Structure 1
Amino acid sequence: MADLDYVALFAAMPTPCVVITRDFVIVAANPAYLEATGKTRDDLIGRPLFDVFPDPADSGERNVRASVDRVVETGKPHTMALLKYDVPVEEPPSSFEERWWSLINSPVTGPDGEVEWILIRAEDVTAYVQAHDLRLHPPAEASSEAMALEAALFERARELQTLNVELSEENARDRQVAVTLQKAMLLTPDLEKHPNVAVRYLPAVETMNVCGDWYDLVDLSGDRFSVGVGDVVGHGLEAAAVMGMLRSVLSAAMRALERPAHALEVLGLYARSMESALNSTAAEAMVDPRSGLIIYSNSGHLPPVLVHPDGEFELLDQVLDPPLGARPQHVPCSQAGQPYASGDTLVLYTDGLIERRDEDIDVGLDRLCRTLARHRALGPRQMADAVLEDLGVAGGAHDDISLIIVRL
């Protein structure tokens, strides 16, 4: 059988369809969509969806964004409740025509298997909605039973739409509380003294998928300092709260003990006292300019990366202990030393930076290392932004991301 011409198939579909990127930029629209919206391709292609169809009430935009985020996160289609969206018309000027839509958002994957585009199939149900808003004057040929059933279905659809809006608004508020809490707990006073250190934190894009990632920098005696990252299992406000407690304990332990392994031992003991903290991960590295060593310890976390000015890189993976509290009995943490030279770059991060669905973690780790090597000549802040952009997570990912880059 000959291969299908999917471009022709898309163009021939009688249902209005538009394709957007994960950033909500329109990249394709079929003729049925152009006819339903009264737009041309020049009006649509390359433009942000919500610039073309502004929503004064904002609830429609929030619902569409939440649905698309869900499609990207799950890789599965999502059907929305009825959506009212006004379409601009030329006559009279600056006026809008009320339209009602039934949207089905479906994932379209790229060559790497990741969701790259979203196909929005939009059924224009304006005529049906308007007819039933005027159901006190039904067509003469329609039976009263049929009209009563259709009226009940429409009323139920409106109830579901209202509920969908309320839930979306509630989730948005809860997420904002969690993100604000998490950012407040990530304040790092010692960071201001280190112009050669850059940190980035990106909350997850999923509506309530705020997680428990953290970073920290602690000044120690002499001219030594330590940097650390960690990740709490779970999502939402509870994970953010646990993150704050673990980060505070590790910071205090590091200041008192000045040894990464000893500090992580204290953190592991503390984690065993809270079920919600068990199996969290953390990595801590102390930079000692006098000895030219990076002393590090790792409890179940991804290995730090050391990038050299010539583009070579190495993983700090000589030691790796289980996640916090995972052992039934307390066991001392291991520790290793890594020599470094002026101009080297030390990078610590959480798994949201490199993990991808249906891909081995080593593939993502290798991609990160090569990206770091490619941008090694940039300053830490520019390097952090370039890495996030190249890895496709500058706008966030399905998981939180913490990143700390140190130019040694």
Structure 2
Amino acid sequence: MSRSLDAQDRLQQLETIIGDPTGHLGLAELLTETLRRLREVMEVDTATVLRYQTSARQLVAFAAAGIEEEVHQGVQVPVGSGFAGRVALERAPVVLDHVDETTVVNSLLWERGLRSMLGVPMIAGGELVGVLHVGSVESRQFGESEVGTMQLLADRLAMAIQMEALEENRTATMALQRSLLPSRLPDVPGLAFGARYVPGAETGLGGDWYDLFTLPGDRLGVVMGDVSGHGLEAAVIMGRLRSALRAYALDCESPAEVLGKLDRKANHFEHGAMATVAYGIIGPSREALTLSLAGHLPPVLARPGGPGRLVDVPADPPIGLTIGQPERRTTVIDLPPGAVLALYTDGLVERRDRPVDTGMRMLAESLRAGEPERVCARVMATMIGNRPAQDDVALLAIHRWAVPAES
């Protein structure tokens, strides 16, 4: 078979390698089948796809044909090291005519007896997705046409991997988010609750959350938080902060102290993460909420018969933003009988065409005391309406009964 191909031949060769659509196959199986065809068409002995792990800056064997041990043994190659690491670092094709420990990090390759290799970067949307390489036990020259075919294939596979990764990220984020939000709001004598969570239409799922939990002494913990960023990473950080806050809440009487411990934890273990959090405690009398804000927007309180108003609560530094232990303060907010208190994230009040201050005023004007589910429905209709939210929206309405609960 001639190894000198023009552009048209290269496209035909690519179609032969990709073959008929195989929608019933998962990504790993699809890649393995494609690599098997690649071996046949290019007359090589091995073909491998390594996926790039951004956080670790390394390549991990994901699919292989002819040298399946790479996948089975979880081969890892740091970016910049050896053959595949060089392809990833330079983001350019590399041809290797000498395979041993001086040129290749993965010992399986020279133990397999490979003498010549060709590797190309897998890039989609300007981002490194991985490396595709082939190897031959016979010495051979890989020509420009073969490099071109490999690069075309790598581009196709990179897009498929990236799309699969985005879908996996969204699915995992959604599952994690649903598992961490309260499945049902608690039954608390003297109080009723309503809540909404809507993922952003543009940003997707992220790190917004709300939480309600009982505490010793017939008290209730109330949380509204927003981790910066979106996707699985933000949701994972949110989950860790949520669990840590609950643990600190059991040991600390003051919301300010709880947020101080959470800030210390985030600065030590969650480098680069930032979150705004509102945490408060409602006592057994249900007459007041003791609240501390870590960079979060103030709640809105609506008394019976009147519009809501923004509560004057000082906002201390966000979680994870400052080094050291800034002073954190608490504010006691009275909850008159029949009143509703609303906590929310910035996605509810901020849009590109509406500054956050304007949105906060709109929220206050729209809030009226009443049954909390109806309160949430009215607020969402006013603030979101028929336009999808650009960012995540979390809303929690707390209604103190006008008549004390019967025992």
**Into which bin does the TM-score normalised by the smaller protein fall?**
0.5 to 0.7
Partner of 1:201: 197
1:152-172 Cα distance to aligned partner (Å, 9 max, x none): xxxx9xx99999788656533
Go from structure 1 to structure 2 and tell me whether the alpha carbon gap of 1:291 and 1:177 turns closer, same or farther (over 3 Å shift): closer
Partner of 2:364: 369
Instruction: Report the CA distance between 1:329 and its aligned residue.
Output: 1.8
TM-score, structure 1 length as denominator? 0.55
Unmatched 5+ residue regions in structure 2? 1-22, 24-151, 401-407
Go from structure 1 to structure 2 and tell me whether the alpha carbon gap of 1:327 and 1:169 turns closer, same or farther (over 3 Å shift): closer
TM-score, structure 2 length as denominator? 0.55
Q: 1:405 pairs with 377, 387, 397, which one?
A: 397
Partner of 1:77: none
Which aligned pairs between 1:259-338 and structure 2 lie closer than 5 A? 259-276=254-271, 278-290=273-285, 292-338=287-333
Which aligned pairs between 1:77-92 and structure 2 lie closer than 5 A? none
Partner of 2:169: 174
* Contact 1:242–1:276 under 8 Å retained in 2: no
Go from structure 1 to structure 2 and tell me whether the alpha carbon gap of 1:346 and 1:230 turns closer, same or farther (over 3 Å shift): same
Instruction: Report the CA distance between 1:182 and its aligned residue.
Output: 1.1
Who wins on radius of gyration, i.e. which is larger?
2
CA RMSD of aligned residues (A): 2.9
Go from structure 1 to structure 2 and tell me whether the alpha carbon gap of 1:322 and 1:239 turns closer, same or farther (over 3 Å shift): same
Which aligned pairs between 1:7-406 and structure 2 lie closer than 5 A? 171-187=166-182, 191-193=186-188, 196-206=192-202, 209-276=204-271, 278-290=273-285, 292-373=287-368, 376-377=369-370, 379-392=371-384, 396-406=388-398
Deviates more, 1:191-200 or 1:254-263: 191-200
Instruction: Report the CA distance between 1:381 and its aligned residue.
Output: 1.4
SS at match of 2:212: strand
SS at match of 1:191: coil
* Contact 2:349–2:359 under 8 Å retained in 1: yes
* Contact 2:346–2:393 under 8 Å retained in 1: yes
* Contact 1:385–1:394 under 8 Å retained in 2: no
* Contact 2:351–2:390 under 8 Å retained in 1: no
Aligned-partner Cα distance in 2 for 1:393–1:164 = 36
Instruction: Report the CA distance between 1:268 and its aligned residue.
Output: 0.8
Percentage identity across aligned positions?
A: 34
**May I ask how many residue pairs the two structures share in their alignment?**
248
1:157-203 Cα distance to aligned partner (Å, 9 max, x none): xx999997886565334312211111112236772557711222112
Q: Which amino acid aligns with 2:395?
A: L
* Contact 1:345–1:406 under 8 Å retained in 2: yes
Aligned-partner Cα distance in 1 for 2:283–2:230 = 35
Partner of 2:119: none
Instruction: Report the CA distance between 1:277 and its aligned residue.
Output: 5.7
* Contact 1:305–1:346 under 8 Å retained in 2: yes
Aligned-partner Cα distance in 2 for 1:334–1:277 = 24
Aligned-partner Cα distance in 1 for 2:238–2:289 = 25
Instruction: Report the CA distance between 1:290 and its aligned residue.
Output: 2.5
SS at match of 1:338: strand
Aligned-partner Cα distance in 2 for 1:317–1:269 = 26
